[in-house]
A = this chain, B = another copy of it.
Protein backbone atom coordinates (compact mmCIF):
# COMPACT_ATOMS: atom_id res chain seq x y z
CA UNK A 1 0.00 0.00 0.00
CA UNK A 2 1.52 3.31 -1.10
CA UNK A 3 1.21 6.03 1.52
CA UNK A 4 -0.95 9.02 0.63
CA UNK A 5 0.50 12.37 -0.32
CA UNK A 6 0.29 15.25 2.14
CA UNK A 7 -0.37 18.55 0.37
CA UNK A 8 0.08 21.61 2.57
CA UNK A 9 -1.72 24.70 1.26
CA UNK A 10 -1.08 28.16 2.68
CA UNK A 11 -2.22 31.59 1.62
CA UNK A 12 -2.86 35.04 3.03
CA UNK A 13 -6.52 35.89 3.72
CA UNK A 14 -8.05 37.13 0.48
CA UNK A 15 -6.13 34.79 -1.80
CA UNK A 16 -9.20 32.57 -2.11
CA UNK A 17 -7.71 29.55 -0.36
CA UNK A 18 -10.96 28.30 1.18
CA UNK A 19 -12.86 28.45 -2.14
CA UNK A 20 -9.98 26.65 -3.82
CA UNK A 21 -9.90 23.91 -1.17
CA UNK A 22 -13.67 23.42 -1.51
CA UNK A 23 -13.24 23.15 -5.30
CA UNK A 24 -10.44 20.62 -4.77
CA UNK A 25 -12.66 18.54 -2.48
CA UNK A 26 -15.51 18.61 -5.02
CA UNK A 27 -13.21 17.73 -7.91
CA UNK A 28 -11.24 15.03 -6.15
CA UNK A 29 -13.55 13.44 -3.55
CA UNK A 30 -10.79 10.87 -2.92
CA UNK A 31 -8.55 13.63 -1.51
CA UNK A 32 -9.32 14.26 2.12
CA UNK A 33 -9.32 18.00 2.76
CA UNK A 34 -8.44 18.33 6.42
CA UNK A 35 -10.52 20.80 8.39
CA UNK A 36 -8.76 23.00 10.93
CA UNK A 37 -10.07 23.60 14.40
CA UNK A 38 -10.44 27.20 15.52
CA UNK A 39 -11.68 29.22 18.47
CA UNK A 40 -12.66 32.07 16.12
CA UNK A 41 -16.44 32.55 15.85
CA UNK A 42 -17.96 31.57 12.48
CA UNK A 43 -18.35 34.32 9.86
CA UNK A 44 -21.73 34.59 8.08
CA UNK A 45 -21.99 31.67 5.65
CA UNK A 46 -19.34 29.55 7.37
CA UNK A 47 -20.40 26.11 8.50
CA UNK A 48 -19.07 24.00 11.36
CA UNK A 49 -17.39 20.88 9.96
CA UNK A 50 -17.17 22.33 6.45
CA UNK A 51 -15.11 25.51 6.81
CA UNK A 52 -13.70 24.82 10.27
CA UNK A 53 -14.34 22.78 13.37
CA UNK A 54 -15.39 25.62 15.63
CA UNK A 55 -14.26 24.83 19.18
CA UNK A 56 -14.70 26.73 22.42
CA UNK A 57 -11.42 28.01 23.91
CA UNK A 58 -11.86 25.45 26.72
CA UNK A 59 -12.31 22.50 24.35
CA UNK A 60 -9.31 23.65 22.26
CA UNK A 61 -7.16 23.94 25.40
CA UNK A 62 -8.22 20.46 26.56
CA UNK A 63 -7.20 18.85 23.25
CA UNK A 64 -3.98 20.85 23.13
CA UNK A 65 -3.01 19.52 26.57
CA UNK A 66 -3.85 15.98 25.44
CA UNK A 67 -1.30 16.37 22.60
CA UNK A 68 -3.92 15.88 19.90
CA UNK A 69 -2.71 18.66 17.57
CA UNK A 70 -0.10 18.30 14.85
CA UNK A 71 0.25 22.08 14.79
CA UNK A 72 -1.38 25.05 16.45
CA UNK A 73 -1.08 28.76 15.82
CA UNK A 74 -2.43 31.97 17.25
CA UNK A 75 -3.66 34.35 14.52
CA UNK A 76 -5.70 37.51 15.06
CA UNK A 77 -6.21 36.63 18.76
CA UNK A 78 -7.73 33.22 17.99
CA UNK A 79 -6.31 29.73 18.14
CA UNK A 80 -6.10 27.44 15.10
CA UNK A 81 -4.98 23.84 15.02
CA UNK A 82 -4.96 20.60 13.05
CA UNK A 83 -5.74 17.30 14.75
CA UNK A 84 -3.03 14.69 14.16
CA UNK A 85 -4.99 11.43 14.23
CA UNK A 86 -7.27 11.93 11.21
CA UNK A 87 -4.28 13.00 9.08
CA UNK A 88 -2.18 10.00 10.16
CA UNK A 89 -5.09 7.61 9.54
CA UNK A 90 -5.85 8.97 6.07
CA UNK A 91 -2.20 8.86 4.91
CA UNK A 92 -1.71 5.33 6.27
CA UNK A 93 -4.82 4.23 4.34
CA UNK A 94 -3.21 5.54 1.12
CA UNK A 95 -5.49 8.58 0.93
CA UNK A 96 -4.08 11.94 -0.16
CA UNK A 97 -4.60 14.72 2.35
CA UNK A 98 -4.81 18.47 1.72
CA UNK A 99 -4.00 20.62 4.75
CA UNK A 100 -5.14 24.21 4.64
CA UNK A 101 -2.89 25.99 7.17
CA UNK A 102 -0.84 29.12 7.74
CA UNK A 103 2.92 29.42 7.37
CA UNK A 104 3.60 28.78 11.08
CA UNK A 105 1.61 25.57 10.88
CA UNK A 106 3.25 24.58 7.59
CA UNK A 107 6.65 24.66 9.25
CA UNK A 108 5.47 22.33 12.05
CA UNK A 109 3.93 19.96 9.51
CA UNK A 110 7.12 19.89 7.42
CA UNK A 111 9.04 18.92 10.56
CA UNK A 112 6.61 16.02 11.21
CA UNK A 113 6.17 14.97 7.56
CA UNK A 114 9.37 15.82 5.63
CA UNK A 115 7.95 14.50 2.35
CA UNK A 116 4.87 16.74 2.39
CA UNK A 117 4.38 19.07 -0.59
CA UNK A 118 3.94 22.74 0.23
CA UNK A 119 1.99 25.06 -2.06
CA UNK A 120 1.45 28.76 -1.50
CA UNK A 121 -1.62 30.44 -3.04
CA UNK A 122 -1.20 34.06 -4.08
CA UNK A 123 -3.71 36.65 -5.26
CA UNK A 124 -2.97 38.02 -8.76
CA UNK A 125 -1.56 41.27 -7.32
CA UNK A 126 -1.40 43.42 -4.19
CA UNK A 127 -4.20 45.76 -5.35
CA UNK A 128 -6.47 42.75 -5.96
CA UNK A 129 -5.70 41.42 -2.47
CA UNK A 130 -6.54 44.78 -0.85
CA UNK A 131 -9.72 45.01 -2.86
CA UNK A 132 -10.81 41.50 -1.83
CA UNK A 133 -10.15 42.23 1.85
CA UNK A 134 -12.04 45.54 1.74
CA UNK A 135 -15.08 43.83 0.16
CA UNK A 136 -15.56 41.60 3.18
CA UNK A 137 -18.29 43.81 4.55
CA UNK A 138 -18.35 42.14 7.94
CA UNK A 139 -14.83 43.37 8.82
CA UNK A 140 -14.14 46.87 10.16
CA UNK A 141 -11.23 49.03 8.92
CA UNK A 142 -8.92 48.06 11.79
CA UNK A 143 -9.57 44.35 11.10
CA UNK A 144 -8.79 44.95 7.41
CA UNK A 145 -5.53 46.73 8.30
CA UNK A 146 -4.60 43.86 10.60
CA UNK A 147 -5.36 41.32 7.85
CA UNK A 148 -3.27 43.24 5.33
CA UNK A 149 -0.32 43.39 7.72
CA UNK A 150 -0.76 39.69 8.41
CA UNK A 151 -0.89 38.99 4.65
CA UNK A 152 2.45 40.76 4.21
CA UNK A 153 3.88 38.61 6.99
CA UNK A 154 2.53 35.40 5.46
CA UNK A 155 3.74 36.24 1.95
CA UNK A 156 7.19 36.85 3.47
CA UNK A 157 7.43 33.07 3.91
CA UNK A 158 6.83 32.33 0.21
CA UNK A 159 10.37 31.03 -0.29
CA UNK A 160 9.72 28.13 2.12
CA UNK A 161 7.22 26.61 -0.33
CA UNK A 162 7.74 24.10 -3.14
CA UNK A 163 5.08 25.55 -5.44
CA UNK A 164 3.35 28.89 -5.91
CA UNK A 165 -0.10 29.08 -7.49
CA UNK A 166 -1.60 32.42 -8.48
CA UNK A 167 -5.34 32.41 -7.94
CA UNK A 168 -6.61 34.69 -10.69
CA UNK A 169 -9.16 32.40 -12.36
CA UNK A 170 -10.34 29.71 -9.92
CA UNK A 171 -10.36 26.97 -12.60
CA UNK A 172 -6.73 27.68 -13.58
CA UNK A 173 -5.60 27.64 -9.95
CA UNK A 174 -7.50 24.37 -9.39
CA UNK A 175 -5.89 22.83 -12.48
CA UNK A 176 -2.48 23.91 -11.17
CA UNK A 177 -3.20 22.22 -7.82
CA UNK A 178 -4.43 19.03 -9.51
CA UNK A 179 -1.32 18.95 -11.71
CA UNK A 180 0.94 19.38 -8.67
CA UNK A 181 -0.84 16.48 -6.97
CA UNK A 182 -0.59 14.23 -10.03
CA UNK A 183 3.03 15.16 -10.87
CA UNK A 184 4.26 14.69 -7.30
CA UNK A 185 2.96 11.11 -7.38
CA UNK A 186 5.36 10.45 -10.26
CA UNK A 187 8.43 11.86 -8.43
CA UNK A 188 11.16 9.27 -8.36
CA UNK A 189 11.73 9.14 -4.57
CA UNK A 190 8.02 8.45 -3.93
CA UNK A 191 8.00 5.49 -6.33
CA UNK A 192 10.93 3.50 -4.98
CA UNK A 193 8.80 0.74 -3.43
CA UNK A 194 6.57 0.40 -6.50
CA UNK A 195 9.65 0.27 -8.77
CA UNK A 196 11.31 -2.36 -6.58
CA UNK A 197 8.12 -4.42 -6.65
CA UNK A 198 8.17 -4.30 -10.47
CA UNK A 199 11.90 -5.29 -10.45
CA UNK A 200 12.85 -2.02 -12.10
CA UNK A 201 15.03 -1.05 -9.13
Binding site for B on A (CB under 8 A): 119-120, 122, 124-126, 155, 158-159, 161-165, 175-176, 178-180, 182-184, 186-188, 191, 195, 198-201
Contact = CB atoms under 8 A, between A and B. Distances in A.
A17 to B, nearest CB: 15
A159 B195 CA distance: 10
B201 A159 contact: yes
Given A125-B198, A158-B201, A200-B122, A163 B186 contact: yes
A198 B125 CA distance: 6
- Copies of this chain, count: 2
A115 B155 CA distance: 25
Interface centre among A159, A175, A200 (most CB of B within 10 A): A200
B187 A163 contact: yes
A161 B176 contact: no
Given A125-B198, A195-B158, A165 B186 contact: yes
Contacts of A159: 188, 201
Nearest to A201: B158
Contact of A161 (B125, B165, B183, B188): B188
A195 B182 CA distance: 24
A200 B163 contact: no
Contacts of A200: 122, 126, 155, 158
A124 B201 CA distance: 13
A24 B178 CA distance: 19
A73 B126 CA distance: 50
A59 to B, nearest CB: 37
Contacts of A191: 164
Contacts of A198: 122, 124-126
Given A120-B188, A164-B188, A179-B182, 16 more contacts: A122-B198, A122-B200, A124-B198, A125-B198, A126-B198, A155-B200, A162-B187, A162-B188, A163-B183, A163-B186, A163-B187, A164-B195, A165-B186, A176-B182, A176-B186, A180-B186
